[in-house]
């Protein structure tokens, strides 16, 4: 097909004429041989430039699949033993190298002495401070491992309302300690990441916690026969909150970002109070409490819970309709619930405000899996509350009144539908759940004003007695 654009040869000729004529104008008259040499030189120059330009254009318009860099490497299969071993060894070497880059205890102690020696007076409430000049001086003396911590950005982050523009050496040292601990823990968790993809499967996390137990003094009293139940109890909390979509794995970064690992490692403190232990899901008293409740509910001692046995949970005021929905939606074995499924149930009920718990309850309350709750769903569950009220000799409350109150509390975007996000945004999701599944929860809501008044009166009497 004809084209209006000049051919390569024509472009060369035009360029040659322009360059040669320009050269001739600027120089003395030349012979024919000299002119021919100049033309050939200019020809070679322009030709090479045009060829390079055309090559660049073709590389952007033509697809050469051989030049695409590899961006996916398939994991070795189970029968590829050599590849698996090579990958494991490479990861181990990498993690060892990263571990050697971290500060050890002696180096941390030396860093503290340097900070203390170079602190900048005056003291602030007996707390030693350091200005930026001294901060840089410590950086020079501390060594290469400390270099990443001595940046202007970190200094600015720790800067407070000090009139001299200084930072607290204690806050800075705690920052270094925390960062070092996070990196150490990250490497420690990565050792259990069999796939090497930044995730831990349930079995990986179980192995990590099982090998961690001997290092936690607060768990010294646990019988070894209980270890498997303790590990299951501990791992379930990680997966309930960090894997709400039930993918079977959690990100190592998510484990580090949440507070669960801090709670678990808090058990290293030999002087942890009884109250602190009871509030810590990972403590021995807490694990024994949850497992003890499970055994008490299991009346036929078959290691599983039936609907009738689970209905006795807590004060026994959960409705039969709600219990039935639990068995319809959750994993069961021949119609009975195992300990792992029971742990999800307990975690949801004990943390009703958490978004993950509301997601759990939403799945149960949304009978037809339509993604929202409507008046039919609310009525379906509240009728069981009304039946319980009649059994206790109480006059049932009108459903219409309760429905209106729920919609007023939640204020959904659609006035006829309540979504999971509506429950989260309203901060009233736990109250809605209490009203619909638990007679005690509904009674507490109905008598909230009386309960608040009684609590206030008790606090006033307690204050008067103490004074």
Mean pLDDT on 250-261: 93
Enumerate the β-bridge partners of residue 249: 201
Ranges 82-96, 147-161, 239-253: which has the least confidence: 82-96
Buried b / exposed e along 390-414 (16+ C-beta atoms within 10 A): eeeeeeebeeeebeebbbebbebee
Q: Are residues 151 and 261 in the same domain?
A: no
Global pTM value: 0.76
Residues 318 and 465 in one domain: yes
The DSSP string of 328-347 is HHS--BTTBB-HHHHHHHHH
Is a pLDDT exceeding 60 seen at residue 1? no
pLDDT in tens, 414-458: 999 999 999 999 999 999 999 999 999 999 888 876 655 555 555
**Number of CB atoms found within 10 A of residue 158's CB:** 17
Measured distance CA(366)–CA(11) in Å, rounded: 73
Q: Is residue 73 assigned to a domain?
A: no
Residue 402: pLDDT above 60?
A: yes
Say whether both 350 and 437 belong to one domain: yes
Q: What is the CATH number of the domain that holds 225?
A: 1.10.238.220
Question: How confident is the model at residue 274, as a pLDDT?
Answer: 87
pLDDT one-digit tens code per residue, 263-281: 999 999 888 888 888 899 9
Q: In this structure, are 91 and 52 located in the same domain?
A: no
Look at residue 23 and tell me whether its pLDDT is greater than 50: no
CA-CA distance, 47 to 168, in Å (whole number)? Answer: 67
> H-helix or E-strand containing 17?
helix 8-26
Residue 452 within a domain:
yes
- CB of 352 closer than 8 Å to CB of 364: no
273 — phi, psi (to 5°)? -70, 165
What's the CA gap between 438 and 348, in Å, rounded?
14
Is there a single domain that holds both residue 274 and residue 324?
no
When pLDDT is cut at 50, 70 and 90, the band that residue 194 belongs to is confident
**Token pair listed for 166:** 């200084």
At 27, the pLDDT band (50, 70, 90 cuts) reads very low
Q: Report whether 170 contacts 184 (CB < 8 A).
A: no
Q: Are residues 322 and 177 in the same domain?
A: no
Cβ neighbours of 222 (radius 10 Å) = 16
Residues 57 and 89 in one domain: no
- Domain final position from 237, 263, 297: 297
Give the CATH number, domain containing residue 378.
1.10.238.10
Asked if residue 14 is part of any domain, the answer here is: yes
Of 369, 411, 361, 402, which is closest to residue 383 (Cα–Cα)? 402
For residue 69, is it within any domain? Answer: no
Q: Is residue 68 part of a domain?
A: no
User: Is residue 395 in a domain?
Assistant: yes
Shared domain check, 463 and 318: yes
Does the pLDDT at position 155 exceed 90?
yes
> Do 280 and 395 fall within a single domain?
no
Alpha-carbon distance of 206 to 248, in angstroms, equals 13
374 and 403 in a common domain: yes
Phi-psi region of 371 (alpha: psi -120 to 50; beta: other; left: phi over 0): left
Q: What is the pLDDT of residue 26?
A: 44
pLDDT in the model for residue 464: 52
Cβ pair 236, 340 in contact under 8 A: yes
The answer as to whether 416 is a domain residue is: yes
Structural domain including 44 reads 8-61
Residue-level pLDDT at 77: 83
Do 349 and 438 meet the contact criterion of CB atoms below 8 Å apart?
no
Contact assessment for residue 256 and residue 185, using Cβ atoms and an 8 Å cutoff? yes
Distances 37 to 33, 43, 44 between C-alpha atoms, Å: 6, 10, 11
> Nearest to residue 364, comparing CAs of 422, 336, 325?
325
Nearest to 216 by CA among 290, 280, 295, 289: 280
Q: Are residues 40 and 130 in the same domain?
A: no
228: nearest Cα among 207, 200, 250: 207
Please identify, among 140, 160, 190, the residue that sits at the C-terminal boundary of a domain.
Answer: 190
Cβ-Cβ contacts under 8 Å for 383 (sequence gap 6 or more)? 321, 399
Residue in the structure block whose two tokens are 């037809």: 368
Residues 138 and 171 in one domain: yes
Compare 134 and 78 and report the one with higher pLDDT. 134
The count of structural domains within the chain is 4
Beta bridge partners of 373: 418
User: What is d(CA 115, CA 109) in angstroms, rounded to the nearest whole number?
Assistant: 10
Confirm whether 77 is domain-assigned.
no
C-alpha R_g of the chain: 36
């Amino acid at each position: 097909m004809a084209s209006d654009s000049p051919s390569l040869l024509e472009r060369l000729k035009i360029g040659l004429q322009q360059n040669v004529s320009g050269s001739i104008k600027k120089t003395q008259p030349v012979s024919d041989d000299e002119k021919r040499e100049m033309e050939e030189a200019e020809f070679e120059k322009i030709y090479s430039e045009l060829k390079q330009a055309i090559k660049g254009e073709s590389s952007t318009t033509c697809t050469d699949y051989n030049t695409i860099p590899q961006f996916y490497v398939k994991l070795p299969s189970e029968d590829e033993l050599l590849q698996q071993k090579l990958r494991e060894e490479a990861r181990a070497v990498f993690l060892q190298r990263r571990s050697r880059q971290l500060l050890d205890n002696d180096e941390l102690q030396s860093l503290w002495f340097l900070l203390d020696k170079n602190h900048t007076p005056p003291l602030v409430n007996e707390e030693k401070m350091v200005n930026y000049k001294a901060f840089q001086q410590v950086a020079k003396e501390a060594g290469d491992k400390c270099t990443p911590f001595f940046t202007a950005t970190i200094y600015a982050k720790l800067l407070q309302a000090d009139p001299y523009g200084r930072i607290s050496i204690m806050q800075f040292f705690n920052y270094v300690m925390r960062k070092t601990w996070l990196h150490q823990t990250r490497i420690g968790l990565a050792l259990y990441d069999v796939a090497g993809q930044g995730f831990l499967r349930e079995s990986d996390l179980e192995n990590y916690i099982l090998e961690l137990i001997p290092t936690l003094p607060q768990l010294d009293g646990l019988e070894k026969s209980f270890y498997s139940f303790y590990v299951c109890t501990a791992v379930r909390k990680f997966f309930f909150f960090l894997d709400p979509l039930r993918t079977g794995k959690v990100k190592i970064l998510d484990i580090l970002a949440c507070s669960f690992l801090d709670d678990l490692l808090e058990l290293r403190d030999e002087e942890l109070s009884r109250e602190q232990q009871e509030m810590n899901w990972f403590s021995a008293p807490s694990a024994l409490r949850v497992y003890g409740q499970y055994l008490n509910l299991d009346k036929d001692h078959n290691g599983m819970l039936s609907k009738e046995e689970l209905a006795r949970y807590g004060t026994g005021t959960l409705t039969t309709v709600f219990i039935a929905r639990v068995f319809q939606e959750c994993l069961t074995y021949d119609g009975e619930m195992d300990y792992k499924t029971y742990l999800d149930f307990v975690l949801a009920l004990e943390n009703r405000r958490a978004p993950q718990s509301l997601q759990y309850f939403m799945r149960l309350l949304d009978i037809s899996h339509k993604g929202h709750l409507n008046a039919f769903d609310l009525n379906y569950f509240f009728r069981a509350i009304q039946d319980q009220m009649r059994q206790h000799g109480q006059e049932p409350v009108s459903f219409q009144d309760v429905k209106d109150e729920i919609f007023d509390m939640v204020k959904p975007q659609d006035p006829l539908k309540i979504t999971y996000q509506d429950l989260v945004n309203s901060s009233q999701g736990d109250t809605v759940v209490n009203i619909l599944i638990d007679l005690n929860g509904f009674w507490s809501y109905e008598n909230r004003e009386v309960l608040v008044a009684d609590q206030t009166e008790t606090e006033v009497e307690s204050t008067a007695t103490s004074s």
